Chains A and B, each alone.
Chain A
Amino acid sequence: MHLLIQNGRVVDPSQDLDAKLDVLIEDGVVARVDKKIKANVSTLDAAGLIVSPGFIDLHTHLREPGQEHKETISTGTRAAVAGGYTAVCAMANTLPPNDERAVTEMIIAESRRNGACRVYPIGAVSKGLKGEELAELADLRTAGCVGVSDDGKPVWNAQLMRRALEYCAMLKIPVIAHEEDAHLNEGGVMHEGYYSTLLGMAGIPAASEETLVARDVILAALTKSHVHVAHASTRGAIDAVRRAKADGVHVTCEVTPHHLALGDDAVQSFSTNLKMNPPLRSADHRDAILEGIADGTVDAIATDHAPHHFDEKNVEFDLAPFGIIGLETAFGVCHTRLQKVVDLARLIDLFSCGPARIFNLPGGTLQRGALGDVTLIDIKARYQVTNTFHSKASNSPFIGEALTGRPVATVVAGVVKFDLRV
């Protein structure tokens, strides 16, 4: 499709570009980025807005197949474009899990039929996510998976993790690691610390994540393979990733908006929209995340968008499932909270260029020939998060929050998929 995006300020960290320029997309790819382009195609006005390479979420749960009461590929991708995302990576813990090619193909077919943005499936590491035997990783790769993960669960067996990393080195895809030691967690529902003691709830110690990250960094070095630490939430995880990078090990990591914006003190309200895994942590861990963002240790911001039906979350804190949605609030929360920590270019890098770079995905840039995936952002917009979402679910801790900065329009392959102004 063709589209001319006019009058905006292009910020493309992949090219060190920050200038008032127009972007011409032809046949779904970037044809030209230049001053005052004239072309006989539909236009999209970007006056007063930032024009950025389209956002890419490395970590989303679309819940289809099997849990369509929570979300579907259709509603989840609609939520994605409303949050400025042009592509999402869909995690494998569906029902049935995405541990074989048929499920991958179903997800891709459905996303082509009814998806509002690109969907890159993430396959399972192990059959049935049981953590016992490798899934057919090569088949999953061929079918279109861009990485593998048992996310939702850790790969507890170190030998299995080692073999998965070795195998994926051949396939040149990352193993995305959900780092938690189920034994150390021991039924925990929130961060172990002063607040879990105050509230009388079972705690999840930081050590649960930190021990597994330390292990997987060593395994990545051993196998010369790429491990990507999902939703890093602790100082120990960020430190381990920083050291590993300095040592030349192929380790990357993502953090979520909620882990940098919220802390375990908020759980005093007992709201189940504050229950997720890994949990909200204490202030020192949040500081470590901000330090990691500032010094480049953190490669990407990823939402871990985890929709649940209202009834499932409308129970006692102990009983509620873990997870919150995040696609529609991610940019606003990060822009608001990181204003004093990073500049706009770094922020866009975390949402777009970084994800594409570390997972070897197309996009994340507005160079000629790149995907015509673009996000328009109003960084001055002030608004309050309401309780209506494009997602089927509304389990968000940010309802009622006042934010600054929001995605206004989202373009995928030159087609406008979302425009707040219309």
Chain B
Amino acid sequence: MRAQTSSLRTKDLLGIEPLSPEEISLILDTAEGFKEVSERPVKKVPALRGQLVINLFMEASTRTRVSFEIAEKRLSADTLNFSASGSSVEKGETLIDTAENLMAMRPDMIVIRHKHPGAPKMLAERLPASIINAGDGAHEHPTQALLDAFTIRERLGRLDGINVSIVGDIAHSRVVRSNIHLRTKMKANVTVAGPPTLIPSEVEKMGARVVHSLDAAIDGADVIMMLRIQIERQGKLSFPSLREYYNTFGLTPERLRRSKPDAIVMHPGPMNRGVEIASDVADNPERSVILEQVTNGVAVRMAVLYLLGGAHLE
């Protein structure tokens, strides 16, 4: 599909919540074209040539950071990776000072991952560069939700009317929030499942159905999305042990058998095998699309970078 000349309404991608369904479709359609680029022998287009993108990752990341860096390079941008450790953040430099100092070196775009919600918005309000949210605390992770949507659309043919169930630590998950926004805008049905201690207050008002059993979540689902349980929260007040969590909410082959035969299994990664998901399920070649999500992530991020940075050059 030919890349389009229209672009997003604002200079930044801070979340799914501010996007319209048309903008979401634009990103997904654009991503289809870029997926093809990644299959060529020369995996490069010149769209962002001469532009500088800084990857400001203040929190650990494998997939998202590598995916953004590859996407930037395939668009011919210059990239710079910045992580908090080894930087003056360790000397107490604030986020705003860090960003303004980097801005003084004139990047065109900053991709930021941060543990505090609202950090990308702080930068977007103060800096002229395009700011892309790669995950801000438990608030939003828009490119993850977009690549999830791309994967669902690719596998199941559409987004509207699809039943999506998301299982796990809903309270602390930015992936869930972005996905709920995206699914409701694209008219899919969302169910969230987990123990009540991991379900945040009034989440039904965001447009999700809440259940407290894995079987209820699997029943009728077209997409089963498993979230990582944060091991460090075990034994604190939210749930007593990983063992108990696996027994109540872990996705095993037996439980998967109760799902619709074509239901796909997703996971944003990283996975804790044997905690939220059994290896046999994660590695199931027919049902699991976990690695396809990662492949699609590069294409989706190329689309976002292009629409924010490259489109206006045409």
B203 is an interface residue with CB less than 8 A from chain A: yes
Contact call B201/A200, Cβ cutoff below 8 A = no
Once A194-B201, A203-B201, A270-B122 are accepted as A-B contacts, the answer to whether A317 and B116 lie under 8 Å apart by CB is yes
Residue in B17, B119, B200 whose beta carbon sits within 8 Å of that of A316 in the complex: B119
Interface positions of B from 113 to 135, Cβ below 8 Å from A = 114-119, 121-122
Which residues 218-233 of B sit at the A interface, judged by CB distance below 8 A? none
A19 contacts across to B, CB distance below 8 A: none
CA distance A205 to B177 in the complex (A): 20
A194 to B202, Cβ gap below 8 A? yes
A64 vs chain B, min Cβ distance (A): 26
A199-B118 CB under 8 A given contacts A315-B94, A315-B96: yes
A74 within 8 A of B: no
Cβ-closest chain A residue relative to B170: A197
Within 8 A of B (CB), among A171-221: 186, 192-194, 196-201, 203, 205
B267 at the interface (CB under 8 A from A): no
* Stretch in contact with the other chain, from B48-56, B136-144, B241-249, B278-286: B136-144
A318 interface contact, C-beta 8 A: yes
Q: How far is the CA of A46 from the CA of B25 in the complex (A)?
A: 64
**A196–B118 contact, CB under 8 A?**
no
Q: Are A199 and B95 in contact (CB under 8 A)?
A: no
Q: How far is the CA of A193 from the CA of B202 in the complex (A)?
A: 6
CB within 8 A of A198: which of B94, B177, B237?
A: B177
Q: Quick check: B117 and A200 within 8 Å, CB to CB?
A: yes
Known contacts A315-B96, A319-B116; is-contact A197 B122 (Cβ 8 Å)? no
Q: In the complex, A199 Cα to B94 Cα: how many Å?
A: 22
- Min Cβ gap B62→A in Å is 21
Residues of A within 8 A of B17 (CB): 198
Contact of B137 among A194, A197, A315, A318 (CB under 8 A): A318
Chain A residues whose C-beta falls within 8 Å of the C-beta of B206 in the assembled complex:
194, 197-198
Measured between beta carbons, the chain A residues less than 8 angstroms from B301 are none
Residue in contact with A201 in the complex, picked from B96, B121, B139, B237, CB distance below 8 Å: B139
A316 to B96, CA, bound (A): 9
- B116–A318 CB distance below 8 A: yes
| Residue contact B201 to A193, C-beta cutoff 8 Å | yes
In the bound assembly, the distance between CA atoms of A130 and B223 in angstroms comes to: 52
Which residue of A is nearest B176, CB measured?
A200
- The answer on a CB contact under 8 Å between B95 and A197 is no
**Residue of A with least CB distance to B136:** A200
A42 an interface residue at 8 Å Cβ cutoff? no
A114 at the interface (CB under 8 A from B): no
In the assembled complex, A159 has its CB within 8 A of some CB on chain B:
no
Contact B177 A317 (CB under 8 A): no
A197 and B174 alpha carbons, distance in the complex (Å): 10
Interface size on B, residues (CB 8 A): 26
Q: How far is the CA of A192 from the CA of B200 in the complex (A)?
A: 9
Contacts of B237 in A (CB 8 A): 186
User: Which among B96, B114, B115, B203 is the interface contact of A197 at CB below 8 angstroms?
Assistant: B203
Q: How far does the Cβ of A32 sit from chain B's closest Cβ, in whole Å?
A: 56
Q: Kindly provide the distance from the CB of B173 to the nearest chain A CB, expressed in whole angstroms.
A: 8
Is the Cβ of B202 less than 8 Å from the Cβ of A314?
A: no
In the assembled complex, the Cα of A50 lies from the Cα of B61 at a distance in Å of 62
The 8 A CB mask of B91-124 against A (1 = contact, 0 = none) is 0001110000000000000000011111101100
Binary contact readout B135-169 vs A (1 if CB under 8 angstroms, 0 otherwise): 01111100000000000000000000000000000
Knowing A270-B121, A318-B116, A318-B117 touch, does A200 contact B202 (C-beta < 8 A)?
no
CA distance A318 to B116 in the complex (A): 6
The answer to whether B201 touches A270 (Cβ under 8 A) is no
CA–CA, A331 to B96, complex, Å? 34
A201 cross-chain contacts in B, Cβ below 8 A: 117, 137-139
A contact residues around B119 at 8 Å (CB): 316
Chain B: minimal CB distance from A394 (Å): 17
Q: Provide the residues of chain B in CB contact with A315, threshold 8 Å.
A: 94-96
* Inter-chain contact A316/B114, CB cutoff 8 Å: yes
Q: Does B205 contact A (CB under 8 A)?
A: yes
The CA-CA distance from A193 to B17 in the complex, in Å, is: 18
Report whether A192 and B117 are in contact in the complex, using a CB–CB cutoff of 8 Å: no
Given contacts A317-B117, A317-B118, contact A196 B201 (CB under 8 A): yes
Find B140's partner among A200, A205, A314, A317 (CB 8 Å cutoff).
A200
**B contact residues around A194 at 8 Å (CB):** 201-202, 205-206
How near does chain A come to B10, taking the closest CB pair, in angstroms?
15
Task: Give Cα distance in the complex from A198 to B202, angstroms.
Answer: 9
Assess the A316–B122 pair: CB atoms within 8 A: yes
Residue of B95, B121, B138 touching A200 (CB-CB under 8 A): B138
- Bound-state CA distance A270–B237 (Å) is 28
Chain B residues, CB < 8 A from A316: 95, 114, 116-119, 122
**With the chains together, A193 CA to B121 CA distance in Å?**
22
Say whether A197 contacts B202, CB under 8 Å.
yes
Closest 10 CB pairs of A and B: A200-B138, A270-B118, A200-B139, A316-B116, A194-B202, A197-B200, A318-B116, A194-B205, A200-B117, A317-B118
Which B residues have a C-beta under 8 Å from some C-beta of A? Answer: 17, 94-96, 114-119, 121-122, 136-140, 174, 177, 200-203, 205-206, 237
Q: Given A199-B117, A200-B137, A270-B118, 12 other A-B contacts at CB below 8 A?
A: A192-B201, A193-B202, A194-B206, A197-B203, A198-B177, A199-B139, A200-B136, A203-B200, A316-B114, A316-B118, A317-B117, A317-B118
A-B CB contact pairs (8 Å), 19 listed: A194-B205, A196-B200, A197-B200, A197-B202, A197-B205, A197-B206, A200-B137, A200-B138, A270-B118, A270-B121, A270-B122, A314-B96, A315-B94, A315-B95, A316-B119, A317-B117, A317-B118, A318-B116, A318-B137
